[in-house]
Amino acid sequence: MIQKIGVIGAGQMGSGIAHVCALNGFDVSLMDVNPEALKKARDVIRHNLERQASKGKISEADVAVALGRIQTSTEYRSFADCDLVIEAATENEDVKREIFRNLVPNLKEDALIATNTSSISITRLAATTDRPERFIGMHFMNPVPVMQLVEIIRGIATNEETYVAVRDLAHKLGKTSAVAEDFPAFIVNRILLPMINEAIYTLYEGVGSVEAIDTAMKLGANHPMGPLELADFIGLDTCLSIMNVLYDGLADSKYRPCPLLVKYVEAGWLGRKVGRGFYDYSKETPVPTR
């Protein structure tokens, strides 16, 4: 039975996962090698919980109780008594492999491991651990406290008990699960990222401006956010990583990352998180950068 949950990575995804786990009654150990990231994560979680309270979705008492359930640490040994550890680090396979190598010696024998990867092979990541049968993909959507979906992805070795435990956990967190097979980028990003990449090709080829492309998709396809605005929100480095996983994993030219996406990432224009991507976020109203 899952009672205490570890989360690796105190960025946007990790802090969001810690938030929903704590709010739904689970003790959480949030770990990051960067103490500043942990401090920022606590501030973000507090702010988001207070915002939920201000809208009447939770009570003020819930805010204090949830924050009290979250412990932070820079050490892997903080996961010694966790029943499940969810890895939510950057979308880089080498980084994730190194994390799992450091994590495994600090886990109890029956602990489960989940990865929040949005595209990388669960089977391959599981093989870097001592427990591939207790390893699974649990892909939360961003922002975690708001989005309803969790993709659950079994690796080739994942056993039924692990799947059932994680599916039930997603339900207890108030999420709806969609089960995906272990193919590159799973369901959501297999469909979403090529659309975003095509929008960037549309910009690259001069078919439309940033503003025209986003307006067209918002008003013509009823999307809540235009594809270039969404790319900035996701992070252009993450978009490029997922497109590379699709291109390498499926060997189909339709998944070739747009050269303009590559150029933006090389420039460090990674989107909203750095203040500049397809839009410049330095002023109150974002302005297209081309």
Residues 6+ apart with CB under 8 A from 196: 227, 228, 230, 231, 234, 239
- Backbone φ, ψ for residue 96 (5° rounding): -65, -40
Contact (CB, 8 A) for 198 and 217: no
Query: Is residue 241 flagged as an active site residue?
Result: no
Query: Is residue 106 flagged as an active site residue?
Result: no
- Backbone φ, ψ for residue 148 (5° rounding): -85, -20
Catalytic residue among 87, 91, 151, 229: 151
Catalytic residue among 29, 48, 116, 189: 189
Catalytic residue among 118, 119, 121, 197: 118
Query: Is residue 198 flagged as an active site residue?
Result: no
Query: Is residue 151 flagged as an active site residue?
Result: yes
Measured torsion, CA atoms of residues 140, 186, 259, 262, in degrees rounded to the nearest 10: 40
Bridge partners of 6, per DSSP, are 29, 85
Contact (CB, 8 A) for 249 and 121: yes
Separation between Cα atoms, residue 209 and residue 241, nearest integer Å: 24
Contact (CB, 8 A) for 12 and 42: no
Catalytic residue among 87, 119, 139, 177: 139
Closest of 105, 90, 104, 106 to residue 135, by C-alpha: 104
Q: Which helix (H) or strand (E) holds 72?
A: strand 70-73
Give catalytic residues, as residue numbers: 118, 139, 151, 189
